[in-house]
Every structure is written in C-alpha cells, then in structure tokens.
C-alpha cells in the first residue's frame, strides 16, 4: 500500500467515509422521553434517549447512506494499493454520484424526519459532502481518466 499515490480528492473522500462510520454511532434524532422511578414520591428521572445513525438508517435509503461511506473508503483504498476498477465510468464518477444521493437522502431525513435533530445527523451530512467533494476533486485532478489497473507510481 503506497499512500503517496493518494491525492487530495482520494484523501478527502476516504476521510469522509471513515468519518461517516464514526458519526453513525452518534445520536441523529431525539427519542421520546423515558420516565423511570416513582413520579409520586419524587424519585423519577427523565431521560431523552437519542436514536443513533445505525438505528435510524434501517431502510433502503439508510443502506444507501451507509454504502456511500464504504464507497468513499474503497475509492481511497483502491488508489492506495494501485488498483482501479475496470468499467466504463471515469474514476470517481460513481463515488460522486453516491455522495450526491446520500446528501439528498440525509437532507430529506432532516426535513421530513423527527423535529428533534441531534449533532450526529449534521456531522453525517458533512461526511457525505466530504465524500462527493473528494470525488469531484479527484475527477478534476485526473482529467477524467478511465478506470484501469495502475502499476508503479501515479502520474502527475
């Protein structure tokens, strides 16, 4: 693995992917109030448990958000090991598209979801934005080159 092959775009996308996985452990939405103890004698405690990203993203759109994190990490990882997928898309286009999809899905959840938003959803949004910005930077740095196997060091 040669990290010298990584350029700014791959680094940003990879960090965004790792950050998304970390931020999935944070609370994304507030939950309902839980009351424990005895309300009548004054020993009651009220807590507001939050809903983490892992708990909130259990449907297909949630899977796509989580998959975007994998795509961002894979984008940087393939470059670091000197491999690229051999398919008809330019390197970074799929990552860019998945980043846009995840950004749209998180924004939709912010608007249509629980009114009690927690810090995790904002950090998750920043992470998926970093993924698509990293892919966009990589596309600009690459000159839109196709995906092929790479041997040796990268071209500048």
Would you list the domain boundaries of the chain? 3-142
- CA separation for the pair 106, 125 (Å, rounded): 6
Q: The dihedral of CA 73, 76, 79, 84: what is its sign?
A: positive
Taking the model in full, what pTM does it have? 0.76
Tokens encoding 141: 């740095």
**Given the structure tokens 């909130």, which residue do they identify?**
56
Where does the chain have alpha helices with state H? 8-23, 53-56, 60-81, 93-112, 119-142
Each residue of 66-114: pLDDT tens digit? 999 999 998 888 877 777 666 666 778 889 999 999 999 999 989 987 7
What is the fold of 3-142?
A: Butyryl-CoA Dehydrogenase, subunit A; domain 3 (1.20.140)
């Amino acid at each position: 693995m040669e990290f010298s092959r990584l350029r700014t775009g791959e680094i940003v996308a990879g960090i965004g992917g790792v950050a998304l996985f970390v931020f999935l452990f944070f609370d994304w939405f507030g939950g309902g109030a839980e009351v424990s103890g005895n309300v009548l004698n004054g020993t009651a405690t009220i807590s507001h448990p939050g809903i983490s990203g892992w708990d909130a993203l259990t449907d297909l759109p949630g899977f796509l958000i989580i998959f975007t994190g994998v795509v961002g990490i894979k984008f940087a990882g393939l470059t670091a090991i000197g491999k690229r997928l051999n398919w008809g898309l330019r390197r970074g286009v799929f990552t860019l598209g998945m980043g846009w999809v995840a950004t749209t899905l998180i924004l939709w959840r912010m608007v249509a979801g629980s009114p009690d938003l927690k810090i995790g959803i904002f950090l998750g949004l920043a992470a998926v934005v970093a993924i698509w910005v990293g892919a966009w930077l990589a596309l600009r740095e690459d000159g839109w080159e196709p995906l092929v196997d790479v041997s040796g060091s990268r071209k500048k």
